[in-house]
Amino acid sequence: MPNATTARLSRRGLLAAGGALGLGAVLTACGDDDAKDGGADTKGAAKSGPWSFEDDRGTTVKLDEAPKNIVAFTGVAAALYDYGIEVKGVFGPTTTKDGKADVQAGDMDVSKVTVLGNVWDQFNVEKYAALAPDVLISTMFDDAGTLWYVPEASKDKIAKLAPSVGISVFDRQLTAPLQRMWELAESLGADMTAAKVTEAKKRFEAASERLRKAAKAKPEIKVLVGSASPELFYVSGSNLSIDLEYFKALGVNFVEPTEAAKKATGGWFESLSWENVDKHKADVIMMDDRSSAIQPADITEATWKQLPAVKAGQVIARSTEPILSYDKCVAPVEALAEAIEKARKVS
């Protein structure tokens, strides 16, 4: 199965998933087409009359009315949920092995949506068609307009069933896709003046200012961004990823992969054997929180346990694919700010 998956994996899958996640974790995401049925009517006072939205590909989707049967990548659905818009179906990491909501599902009740695919390269086209979708929405990790988690093999069949909207999360700061998701939710009928929504934006702005001040006060603190797989440890570069580009703009001092490594992976990451996990010196380590990556508490490698930042307890989670609502983006910013504020220089 890993060999077959490697053969099917496109360049965008290798770089986008691998850059933030690690190829080893992508290979473990191979699965069957089992899907979980549910049902959730879209809530939100959709505006009457024709609906249109121009996405980040420059494509304008036009419908006679605001879409009611929405299908979206899990993280997108979670963001829309925070704004009061519910979807009928999702694809992407939605449930864990024990049936609980995946971290990328946010606050959604995953029992009330139809899961078309829970892992990479899994998308049940027949169940998608049965939902009578009005629109499909996903993010994009490249500048070619490739929809995230829409399989290469079935993308043409999927495209024929409903128009699509793509929100770019490639090579820009976090605030840009946050704003785009805000605009999309508003177009779908979300109340963007609701106290919950406006207060979340204020909290995000306050958290960002806190991080700016923390980074300025401790410029010597080096932050390494990692992701763990059984075979390899991945060090992410601060370019291309929306969260890291934003944090860097706020002054965070990131450890960067070597130029040769970044060139080999399109700028995303550097692969290290566990024997060489101490190649880069860091004071704080941010680790990929997605279920496809090994979490810090489960890493048994002795070389990991000997890292100064690990021994000092200066390891925090990273929302590698942030849920693009202001509410969900507050915690990651605050966590990094607090980590830098409290960090001791150990590198």
> What's the pLDDT at 25?
36
pLDDT band at 53; cut points 50, 70, 90: very high
Q: Which of 44, 93, 96, 102 is nearest to 73 (CA)?
A: 93
| Residues 95 and 38 sit within 8 Å (Cβ to Cβ) | no
Q: Does the pLDDT at position 44 exceed 70?
A: no
Share of the chain above pLDDT 90, in %: 83
pLDDT tens-digit readout, 153-176: 999 999 999 999 999 999 999 999
Spatial contact of 290 and 260, defined as CB atoms under 8 Å apart: no
Residue 212 pLDDT: 98
Q: What is the mean pLDDT of residues 218-232?
A: 98
Q: 178 by DSSP, 3-state: which?
A: helix
Rounded to an integer, the average pLDDT of 304-333 is: 98
CA distance 51 to 61: 8
Q: Is the pLDDT of residue 7 over 80?
A: no
> pLDDT of 179-196, one tens digit each?
999 999 999 999 999 999
pLDDT in tens, 307-320: 999 999 999 999 99
* Local confidence band at 33 (pLDDT 50, 70, 90 cut-offs): very low
Q: How far apart are CA 315 and CA 296, in angstroms?
A: 8
Q: How far apart are CA 93 and CA 320, in angstroms?
A: 13
Start-end of H helices in 16-95: 18-20, 23-27, 74-82
Q: Look up the pTM and report it.
A: 0.88
Dihedral angle over CA of 300, 303, 306, 307, nearest 10: -110
Question: Across-strand partners of 138?
Answer: 166
CB 197 within 8 A of CB 321: no
